[in-house]
């Protein structure tokens, strides 16, 4: 249900903004399609994992690893684009700031309502390891936010772009981990040793 609400939100915003035609044209590039797929599936896999790791009868370690193949695909395809730009245009272009800080704002801004919704749902589950669960949840909300960014990020990804995108994703994940540590468990924060 949570993923369905996200997909409805993305579909509505992109339909209203008229971003679909440009995105469909860009998806004809196999590398870009793989990057988009990896980004979206990172978030979906993390959300699936986060709900499974709240169940006491599931092996937490295995479910925690579910997003890793998709995260690897996301980073590999984005990294390849950075490398391709470096070869084609040189280092001066690869480190140029072209609205990269705006991208950070989009990732964080889209992550906030998704994180609040996820937090409210997970608070009711009382997970045994809230910081660990919310860390995975942070990846679950940052992945879809980074996916949605691609509808409005029309430039090729440079090294600086990728670094700032990953910094925004890391900020979301760390914030969610902090929420898990301090707020999710009703009996109060667990020591870091238990995380």
Any idea which residue has 């915003």 for tokens? 13
d(CA 148, CA 25): 16
Q: How many helices (H) and strands (E) does the chain have?
A: 9, 0
Any idea which residue has 């090729």 for tokens? 156
What is the 8-class DSSP label of residue 192?
Answer: G
pLDDT at 194: 43
For the cut 90, the answer to whether the pLDDT of residue 69 exceeds it is yes
The sign of the CA dihedral 136, 41, 38, 150 is negative
Tell me which long-range contacts 81-84 makes (C-beta under 8 A, separation of at least 24): 81/31, 81/32, 81/35, 81/156, 81/157, 82/157, 82/158, 82/159, 82/161, 82/162, 84/156
What is the mean predicted confidence (pLDDT) over 25-41? 87
pLDDT at 177: 86
- If one compares 149 and 20, the residue with the highest pLDDT of the two is 149
pLDDT band at 41 (very low <50, low <70, confident <90, very high): very high
pLDDT at 191: 44
For the cut 80, the answer to whether the pLDDT of residue 114 exceeds it is yes
8 A C-beta contact, residue 173 and residue 146: no
Centroid of chain to Cα 34: 15
pLDDT at 130: 79
Half-sphere exposure of 137 (CA within 13 A, CB side): 33
> What's the predicted TM-score (pTM) here?
0.80
Q: Which two tokens stand for residue 188?
A: 């109060």
For the cut 60, the answer to whether the pLDDT of residue 15 exceeds it is yes
For the cut 50, the answer to whether the pLDDT of residue 119 exceeds it is yes
For the cut 70, the answer to whether the pLDDT of residue 63 exceeds it is yes
- Mean pLDDT, rounded, of the chain: 78
pLDDT at 38: 93
8 A C-beta contact, residue 45 and residue 72: no
For the cut 80, the answer to whether the pLDDT of residue 84 exceeds it is no
For the cut 60, the answer to whether the pLDDT of residue 99 exceeds it is no
Closest CA to 125 of 189, 185, 175: 185
């Amino acid at each position: 249900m949570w993923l369905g609400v996200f997909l409805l939100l993305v579909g509505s915003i992109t339909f209203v903004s008229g971003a679909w035609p440009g995105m469909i044209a860009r998806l004809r590039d196999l590398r870009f399609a793989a990057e988009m797929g990896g980004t979206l599936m990172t978030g979906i896999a993390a959300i699936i994992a986060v709900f499974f790791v709240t169940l006491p009868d599931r092996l937490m370690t295995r479910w925690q690893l579910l997003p890793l193949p998709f995260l690897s695909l996301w980073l590999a395809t984005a990294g390849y684009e950075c490398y391709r730009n470096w070869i084609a245009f040189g280092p001066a272009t690869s480190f140029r700031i072209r609205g990269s800080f705006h991208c950070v704002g989009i990732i964080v801004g889209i992550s906030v309502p998704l994180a609040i919704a996820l937090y409210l749902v997970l608070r009711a589950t009382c997970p045994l390891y809230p910081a660990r669960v919310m860390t995975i949840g942070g990846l679950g909300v940052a992945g879809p936010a980074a996916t949605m960014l691609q509808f409005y990020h029309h430039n090729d990804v440079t090294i600086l772009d990728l670094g700032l995108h990953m910094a925004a994703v890391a900020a979301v994940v760390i914030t969610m981990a902090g929420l898990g540590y301090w707020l999710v468990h009703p009996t109060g924060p667990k020591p870091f040793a238990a995380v």
